[in-house]
Structure 1
Amino acid sequence: MLVTVAGPASGGPVAEAAHEVAVSLLGVVQQWLAEPRLEACRLVVVTRGAVAAGRERHADVPDLAASVVWGMIRTAQSEHPDRFVLLDIDPESGTPDLETLLAQVLAAGESQLALRDGEVLVPRVVRSSQGGQIPAVSGFGAGRDWRIDALEGGTLDDVGKAGNPRATRSLEPGEVRIQVHTAGLNFMDVAASLGLAVFEDGLGAEGAGVVVETGPGVERFVPGDRVLGGFPAAFAPLTIADERTLTAVPRAWSFEQAASVPTVFLTAYYGLFDLAGLKAGERVLVHAAAGGVGMAAVQLARHRGAEVYATASHGKWDTLRAMGLDDEHIADSRTLDFADHFRTVTGGHGMDVVLGSLAGDPVDTSLRLLADGGRYIEMGKTDIRDPQQMADAYPGTRYRSFDLKEAGPERTAEMLTDLMQLFDEQTIHPLPVTVWELADLRHALRHMSQGRHTGKNVVRVPAPLDPDGTVLITGGTGTLGSLLARHLVEHHHISHLMLLSRQGPQATAAHQLREDLLTLGATTVTITACDAANKPALT
């Protein structure tokens, strides 16, 4: 038999939704186990996107409320072997033929399975090989004075940790030191990782975090403020930024939302308004409009009153339709047919502005699509043309390539102010976000390089451990607890420990353990009698 479980469609707090799912499923499980006629049968419990599965999974689980199902049924499986099967189907594909799939699942003899990209996956415990992850970016021993950079080799697998003395140096006037919480991922990071571009300060150019220190003359921010903006070497625990390239994070925004904003909206704003001079009533073509800059550009161009046309691969057209574009205003980005399509639907007029990040024939095709006085604005770095040669080849048009850095900190500050006002008025909105963990940055770069995303990719940066903080260990005077305490002091230079156990200082080895830890280098060791299962005692 089969039962499908999903979190409430109405949304709401995840904890409440998970409780609702758990209560409902518990009743089903209890009835199933209480029915003697079903003793020889197995119950297949199906979820969709309730667990992370697959090598290149990102951090978020789409149906987090339903993930409680897996914990509950795993417990039931241990108590009632061969009575339950868990199956999680792919959240990014259509509903499979459940009858056929059910037969395959039961024939496999597995108790836990996940369907991803047409393949059935099963959990296995194997020796860790990091799975392409970047090691030592969180937890004990990770440190604070590092960044993620493109190391020698020129492949995505060569992305790894490098020193970052700049992040801990003394602050200059107007500078702000920031603990990075999230960092935005851009195509320039992909290019730099492949050796096609160079970031002097390391990968990452934007993010969101918390101010930890301000330099002389900084008046807009104080330690503790949440900020977003341009962060050099953003894939790092700490970074230093120019005060003028930062703005406050709106109270209702998460750090993930905040990190998705700076580069894409500033790039679209500067390209469309400062360089192209886009006016109300003009026609603008946004290439790769389902990507980060593209989605930002569509919103800003509409705000200006322009008529927006867009290209994207066929698989992303629904994203463009959801943004309000009809099929006359959409074309395929993988062929050159967009020019004929748009020339036809505009009655031969063509485009007044084209915003693209292109190379090769699509650039020339886009230039030919421009009307008299048209402007082609190039954001890419792989096929930059000479403006005068383009003017000679395509009379009556203007070609302009740019890098956002050329705007300078003063203009960046002005644009950020305008953008945050538009967000506050809900004229424009943050983009859909895909979130990755920093350890999975190589996978995120590969995912982005293949053009598989829509919206914005954002990377969570683990908070560094406070070297002056206290580590609390429950069961701290027992065998495992004491071994862990010694390891932390000896190998990770932890100075302050609090060891909890039911006997506390009266435990047989407590006194000797404390003396050993102090000898190894600990500064303070507090041993306290406390039952970790007693919440009032813990608080």
Structure 2
Amino acid sequence: RRCSRFRRRALEQIADEDGMLSSAAIVSYQSASPESAPFLADLLRLAEDDLSLTAAAEGWTIVPDQREESSAEDIWNSLVADYPDYFQIIHSVGRVGLHLPALLTGRAALPEICPQESSLATLLQQVVGARGRLKCGHALRALVSQGLAALPPGQRLGIVEISEGAPGFAMDICFALDFNRADYCFASTSTTALEEARVRLGEFFPTMRTSVIDDSPPPGVGQSPPAGSCAMAVVMLDFRTTDQALLALRYARRCLAAGASLIVLGQHPSRWIDFVFGARRAGWSQTEDGRWLSSQRPSTFWQQQLRDLGCRCPDPCEFSPDTLSGPYLLLGEVEEGASPPETAPANSVRSWVVLADLAGYSARLADELAKKLQARGDLVIQASTTETPALARLLQQTTASYGELDGLVMLAGLAAPSPALAADEALARQVERCTLAARIAQACEQSSTRTTCWLITGNAGAALLPVSAAAAGDGPSAGPSDDAAFCGFARTMLNEADPGSIRLIDLALPMPAQAAACLLDREFAQPDDEHEVILTAAGERYVPRLRSAARPDAREPRVLQSPTVSLGFQFAGQLRNLRWETHPRVAPAPDQVEVEVQASGLNFRDVMYALGLLSDEAIENGFAGPTLGFEFAGVISRVGSDCTGFSPGDEVVGFAPSSFGNRVVTQNSAIAHIPPRISCEAAATIPSTFFTVYYALHHLARLQAGERVLIHGAAGGVGIAAIQIARWLGAEIYATAGSDEKRDFLRLLGVMHVFDSRSLAFADQILEQSSGRGVDVVLNSLAGEAINRNFRVLRPFGRFLELGKRDFYENTRIGLRPFRNNISYFGIDADQLMLLHPGLTRRLFGELMHLFSEGVLHPLPYRSFEAEDVVEAFRYMQQARQIGKVVITYHHGIRRLQPPQPGRRRHLQLTADASYLVTGGLRGLDRQSVL
């Protein structure tokens, strides 16, 4: 209905005065805007279907609407109130609908109109929703755990996630993975999404990989998973075109082994998708008879694609079984014997040179390795040459006869551990191995041979293997045969050589030659980006990593110990300094409650404090004090002995210091029960915004019906709350916002007087629209010269409500002249109100929550971020990208905990029986210190 109302209004606006849409006019519109031509054709077809248009000889005639239906804006507002968690979808439809006539006639383009956060990838994640993502995440973690439990020794569990937007399930998958035995890769057609994944995930999972999906190289090249190496692929069908989605599915299938799972998350075709993205030609396809059809595909189409790729695929799992308009999952399984699509042709015959001793372990290993390589059809030349000139001739002859050499394997000098080996003999062997490696490099340079040199060592990485490997009998036997010295020399060569020209493989000896040959053959067949690899007899593959570790006296606390966790920072000034800190769990006092937090609201106060733009002085006298976060929603876990009206298990919303975290303790006067049908995430949008506005407009300003109120920054959380409360009080609303998108949002809300908050012209415009009378109340969040402009529009007996902190602490001066007209000025700080007047706080908060229970007020639209993305949430608000509220949730728990900050340094105390040296001491502060 919402899309149809916007559609009808747009067609009425582009029709002539008689309600006629001539064929000639349609052709001219489509010529002026080729991108939206298919969209216009589809809108005409839909209008005919619902009898809004009738075909005429020269075009179409609009049928008068006899029904008394709600307007598009009324429907839009109802959806915003009822579904704040789906706001971005609702807002996208609203803004496109508002500008639909301009889009259809070529006066605007979709990139100018479609909201900044409204890519198909972003909207699809919102369709899935927080609870849908949580269920999918639980299922994926279970699959990962099962895969790890069933993983054979020596094998790795490979998982690839694919989408055009940011990865949706990376945290669920990666936190369940053991990266010592598993690999995760995120692949996308978007370089922006790949960079975001590297930044967001790299801090938590430094070994995760990213890969670009394109038509060129198949998996196995660069960062892509090797073909057939993955046990699970998760694909989100959020791609802008069908061709891109098909390319992603082919990529996923090539990565998968037989029996692997291919999980596809899709969205049933929906009109709102065509409506939001319709003015983009790539979203349409044309039939042979010239008709335009949406490029959205039903789930049956994608089922067939999976079957064509060699997967078994049952019917989809619906997120909402009662409707076929939401998201769904396809659970494919690669059938045994199915061939990957577009399998790359087999390589031509590869040629290898293997250097080994004439006898001993390396000779036996060379023979076994040659058999393996020759079984693949490769050419192998075994030699025991050790002098540079002879090596150079060998390389020249090989390349002349067989073309470019694919690899040179140095086994010479490799021996099984022998406790009887004398130290001087072991040293001599290491010298020989280092000398031969140097001669190989010289021979390659002299013969102009470019190839990969595989230097094979024994037990060089013994100290790096986990204890479990040694305990299982796979670890090496320590002894003088270890190649640690040779490995150090080889690392030096690696650092100085071209990338990829030298690779080190360490064998955990003792190991049968045949087993070692199998491991080396596998390594040669599927090389990746690792230049140093350790292989055990069980087939396990390890690589060295350098990682930060906590000091022994500051170990990272475990989540299982259930400490209280809150957000803090080591140094103010940069958001990257934000960190989750642990504290001992504290029992609530008699008049307090303990709450397990489900969601926390983010406020600009928190951003300013983290950036160092708000001093401790500015907030230390408030209820929350100098902490991050002061509003939350959650479930009571414990109550104090004097608390009445609350019990464990109650869902409550309210205020608390350090509310970003898993648990808070707060006064029972600062909380209220969450009304039915409001989620914790939605409830977290209520406390600071609505309470501040209710206190300011209703309690202090006494805003009356018929009065005018000017609300600055009206698209933010406080602004939207102020619009709701002003309407409840019957006031006429004037509002400002800082972008076209936000001003369109206010117009969709039904605000008639909308202005630019970034231009000082708002004052003259308000006086013009109000016939010079101005407004009765100003709810201000602007700074600087805008203060004086606000006084210009304030009527006698007006009330000025200051929300900002900046001018207070910069001690900005304003003249007294405006106050001659009985002007009242209020500095609003709800944080301080809660500390000094808890009784008034409880009464006002109770009255406010009653309005929510009665359905008079509604939670704000919001954008949620998980706890691990808290830095991104702060940046999002810092850049003023939000409409409504930003909420932090804790569905994945809180990871990467830090020990609490050490206590503040105590004040210097001097004693009379000690001596002190003061440098300087001749004037000013130094002199006073001495005195």
TM-score, normalised with respect to structure 2: 0.38
> What is the count of residue pairs matched by the alignment?
395
| Counterpart AA for 2:577 | D
- 1:448 — aligned with what? 877
2:799 aligned with 1:375: yes
Partner of 1:383, secondary structure, is: helix
- 2:598 — aligned with what? 181
Residues 155, 101 of structure 1: CA spacing in aligned structure 2 closer, same or farther, 3 A cutoff?
Answer: farther
Aligned positions of 1:17-36 closer than 5 A: none
Residues 14, 453 of structure 1: CA spacing in aligned structure 2 closer, same or farther, 3 A cutoff?
Answer: closer
Residues 48, 191 of structure 1: CA spacing in aligned structure 2 closer, same or farther, 3 A cutoff?
Answer: closer
Q: Does the aligned pair in 2 maintain the 1:391–1:399 contact within 8 Å?
A: no
Aligned positions of 1:401-440 closer than 5 A: 401-407=827-833, 408-440=837-869
1:254, CA displacement in angstroms?
1.4
Distance 2:276 2:166 in 1: 10
1:409, CA displacement in angstroms?
2.2
CA deviations on 1:11-45 (whole Å, 9 max, x unpaired) are 99997xx99xxxxxxxxxxxxxxxxxxxxxxxxx9
Residues 81, 204 of structure 1: CA spacing in aligned structure 2 closer, same or farther, 3 A cutoff?
Answer: closer
1:439, CA displacement in angstroms?
1.6
Distance 2:130 2:872 in 1: 30
Partner of 1:331, secondary structure, is: strand
Which of 129, 133, 150 aligns to 2:569? It is 150
Which of 649, 652, 666 aligns to 1:241? It is 666
2:762 aligned with 1:338: yes
**Range 289-298 or range 274-283, more displaced:** 274-283
2:558 aligned with 1:171: no
2:287 aligned with 1:287: no
2:677 aligned with 1:258: no
Q: Does the aligned pair in 1 maintain the 2:599–2:888 contact within 8 Å?
A: yes
1:163, CA displacement in angstroms?
4.3
Distance 1:87 1:305 in 2: 46
Residues 389, 12 of structure 1: CA spacing in aligned structure 2 closer, same or farther, 3 A cutoff?
Answer: closer
Partner of 1:384, secondary structure, is: helix
Q: Does the aligned pair in 1 maintain the 2:237–2:265 contact within 8 Å?
A: no
| Counterpart AA for 1:342 | I
Residues 145, 48 of structure 1: CA spacing in aligned structure 2 closer, same or farther, 3 A cutoff?
Answer: closer
Residues 69, 308 of structure 1: CA spacing in aligned structure 2 closer, same or farther, 3 A cutoff?
Answer: same
Residues 436, 76 of structure 1: CA spacing in aligned structure 2 closer, same or farther, 3 A cutoff?
Answer: same
Partner of 2:595, secondary structure, is: strand
- 1:63 — aligned with what? none
Distance 1:374 1:182 in 2: 38
Q: Which of structures 1 and 2 has the bigger CA Rg?
A: 2
| Counterpart AA for 1:228 | V
Which of 727, 742, 749 aligns to 1:316? It is 742
Q: Does the aligned pair in 2 maintain the 1:58–1:437 contact within 8 Å?
A: no
Q: Does the aligned pair in 1 maintain the 2:572–2:609 contact within 8 Å?
A: no
Distance 2:781 2:666 in 1: 27
Aligned positions of 1:31-70 closer than 5 A: 53=193, 55=196, 69=237
Residues 129, 443 of structure 1: CA spacing in aligned structure 2 closer, same or farther, 3 A cutoff?
Answer: farther
Q: Does the aligned pair in 2 maintain the 1:182–1:259 contact within 8 Å?
A: yes
Partner of 1:161, secondary structure, is: strand
Which of 681, 693, 716 aligns to 1:268? It is 693
- 1:398 — aligned with what? 824
Which of 565, 580, 596 aligns to 1:161? It is 580
CA deviations on 1:263-289 (whole Å, 9 max, x unpaired) are 100011111112212111110000000
Distance 1:406 1:216 in 2: 26
Q: Does the aligned pair in 2 maintain the 1:227–1:248 contact within 8 Å?
A: yes
- 1:510 — aligned with what? none
Q: Does the aligned pair in 2 maintain the 1:147–1:202 contact within 8 Å?
A: no
2:886 aligned with 1:457: yes
TM-score, normalised with respect to structure 1: 0.63
2:639 aligned with 1:214: yes
Distance 1:307 1:237 in 2: 41
**Range 144-153 or range 291-300, more displaced:** 144-153
Residues 336, 387 of structure 1: CA spacing in aligned structure 2 closer, same or farther, 3 A cutoff?
Answer: closer
Q: Does the aligned pair in 2 maintain the 1:284–1:352 contact within 8 Å?
A: yes
Q: Does the aligned pair in 1 maintain the 2:669–2:838 contact within 8 Å?
A: yes
Q: Does the aligned pair in 2 maintain the 1:288–1:333 contact within 8 Å?
A: yes
CA deviations on 1:433-473 (whole Å, 9 max, x unpaired) are 100111211111111111111000000135769xxxxxxxx
CA deviations on 1:512-538 (whole Å, 9 max, x unpaired) are xxxxxxxxxxxxxxxxxxxxxxxxxxx
Partner of 2:579, secondary structure, is: strand
Q: Does the aligned pair in 2 maintain the 1:310–1:330 contact within 8 Å?
A: yes
* RMSD of aligned alpha carbons: 4.5
1:68, CA displacement in angstroms?
5.4
Unaligned 5+ residue runs, structure 2? 1-119, 137-161, 170-192, 202-233, 240-244, 257-261, 267-272, 286-528, 531-544, 549-554, 620-624, 895-931
Residues 67, 333 of structure 1: CA spacing in aligned structure 2 closer, same or farther, 3 A cutoff?
Answer: farther
| Counterpart AA for 2:715 | A
Q: Does the aligned pair in 2 maintain the 1:289–1:295 contact within 8 Å?
A: yes
1:51, CA displacement in angstroms?
5.3
Distance 1:300 1:460 in 2: 27
Partner of 2:608, secondary structure, is: helix
Q: Does the aligned pair in 1 maintain the 2:715–2:884 contact within 8 Å?
A: yes
1:420, CA displacement in angstroms?
2.0
Q: Does the aligned pair in 1 maintain the 2:711–2:780 contact within 8 Å?
A: yes
| Counterpart AA for 1:325 | V
2:608 aligned with 1:191: yes
1:205, CA displacement in angstroms?
0.2
- 1:223 — aligned with what? 648
Residues 425, 137 of structure 1: CA spacing in aligned structure 2 closer, same or farther, 3 A cutoff?
Answer: farther
Distance 1:274 1:436 in 2: 33
Q: Does the aligned pair in 2 maintain the 1:46–1:87 contact within 8 Å?
A: no
2:723 aligned with 1:298: yes
- 2:46 — aligned with what? none
- 1:122 — aligned with what? none
Q: Does the aligned pair in 2 maintain the 1:182–1:459 contact within 8 Å?
A: yes
1:307, CA displacement in angstroms?
0.5
- 1:521 — aligned with what? none
Residues 371, 222 of structure 1: CA spacing in aligned structure 2 closer, same or farther, 3 A cutoff?
Answer: same
Report % sequence identity: 32
Residues 354, 334 of structure 1: CA spacing in aligned structure 2 closer, same or farther, 3 A cutoff?
Answer: same
Residues 427, 402 of structure 1: CA spacing in aligned structure 2 closer, same or farther, 3 A cutoff?
Answer: same
Distance 2:653 2:279 in 1: 42
Q: Does the aligned pair in 1 maintain the 2:788–2:814 contact within 8 Å?
A: no
1:87, CA displacement in angstroms?
13
Distance 1:434 1:211 in 2: 25
Q: Does the aligned pair in 2 maintain the 1:183–1:461 contact within 8 Å?
A: no
Partner of 1:241, secondary structure, is: strand
